[in-house]
Each structure stands twice: as structure tokens, then as C-alpha cells.
Amino acid sequence: MKDLDFIYKRKSVRKFKDEEVPKEDIVELLKAATYAPSPKHQQNWHFIVLQNKEMIDEMAKIVRDSHERIGSIAKTEKDQKIHMSVIDYYTAFKNAPVVVLVYGCEYKMIEYKILKENNASQEVLDILKSPQSGAQAIGAAVENFLLAASAKGYSTCYMTGPTHAKVEIENLIGFDKPGYELMSMIALGVGEENTPKQPPRKPLEEVVTFID
């Protein structure tokens, strides 16, 4: 187990020290991300690195405003309360010295093209797309980044919630790469001391099935 400590010590951290992360370390983590597996080796990712504090703060304001707008149209008080209870989690990236925005593009499926050209039903096409291979590739790249950061002593927080404001975020940073859209973000830095412990994991017997 000791050899895998960099996995078991990784946790989501939302409070960071006021310390810069050297560019060479960021580059090393990004390189690790690009060594993730991807379906048909399409490598459908792109990473934007933000270190500008004013821009990070503005991005947090954009996410907060979007979150509040969504909460204001909830049909029940209960739904509104649940939604608003996570607003500080969705904007916690503002505490990090580095925020990496993870973009992805569509996974190109030759199977889909062949079946569609042969008038396959929508049900068949939907089943083909259901594994969301493009998103899985992005997740693999992010995990490589997170584990590399853990191995180097950095703290991270992987976030998808803020993407409900993806259009406004994309307008803020001015990034435009045809076919790509914001998938997630990673807060990166040196974590504060005494951050909350990892939440417990489900026991293996609940999530693993062996078929002999």
C-alpha cells in the first residue's frame, strides 16, 4: 500500500496557502495529464491555465451569479435550499493560486457514421453514444493530473459544477477553439493545514462483482 500512498492521500482541498506554483511544476502536471489513455488515441483535451487573481475572482463571481439565478427559479423551497447549499463549493476555486480549465471536443466515432448512413434507429445510435467516450477521456486526463499533483505534494479540487456558467466563463477568458467546450476545472495549490479529511469510500463488496 505504501507505494500507492500518492493515490490514497489525494483528496479534494478547497483552502490553499498564498504560495505560487512554479510554472515548471504546472507543465509537468499537464504533461502527466496528456499521458492518459483516450479512445482511439484522439487526445480530445485542451487545458487553459489561469493564474491571474483578478480573472479567477471574476470567474467566481460569474459562477456565483449563475448559481443564484438557477436557485431563484427553483419550484420548491427544498430544491432551492439544496441547490444553494453547495454554492461555496462551486466557487471554492477562487482560493487557489492556479485554476486549470479543462476543455474537450466530441469523440469521433466511425461506428456512428457507418450506422447512421445505413439508417440505424435512434435507439441504436443512442446506445452507441451512451458510454460518453469523449468525457471518459477527459476524466482520465484529469485523474492523471490530480495524482501527479498529489505525488508532488500539491493539493487539488476537481470541479464540474461551475460549468453551468460555461458560456460566461468562456466569454471571460476569451478562449475559442472550434469544437471544444468547457468540461471541468481543477483548483491547484499548496493546501492549508488541517483541511477536512477524505470522505469515506463505499466498501469494495458494494461496488465490485467478481464473475468466475
Tens of pLDDT, residues 70-123: 999 999 999 999 999 999 999 999 999 999 999 999 999 899 899 999 999 999
Cell of 1: 500500500
* 164-187: average pLDDT: 94
Q: How confident is the model at residue 160 (pLDDT cuts 50, 70, 90)?
A: very high
Assess contact for 16 and 191: CB atoms under 8 A.
Answer: yes
* 154-158: average pLDDT: 98
Q: Is the pLDDT of residue 44 over 60?
A: yes
Residue 152: Cβ within 10 Å count = 13
* 151-168: average pLDDT: 96
Q: Is the pLDDT of residue 1 over 80?
A: no
Distance CA 197, CA 60 (A): 25
* 125-140: average pLDDT: 93
Sheet hosting strand 98-105, strand order edge to edge: 45-50, 98-105, 180-189, 155-159
Distances (CA, A) of 174 to 48, 74, 80, 177, 190: 11, 31, 32, 10, 28
pLDDT at residue 176, as a whole number: 86
pLDDT more than 70, % of the chain: 100
How does pLDDT run across 183-210, given as a tens digit for each residue? 999 999 999 999 999 999 999 999 999 9
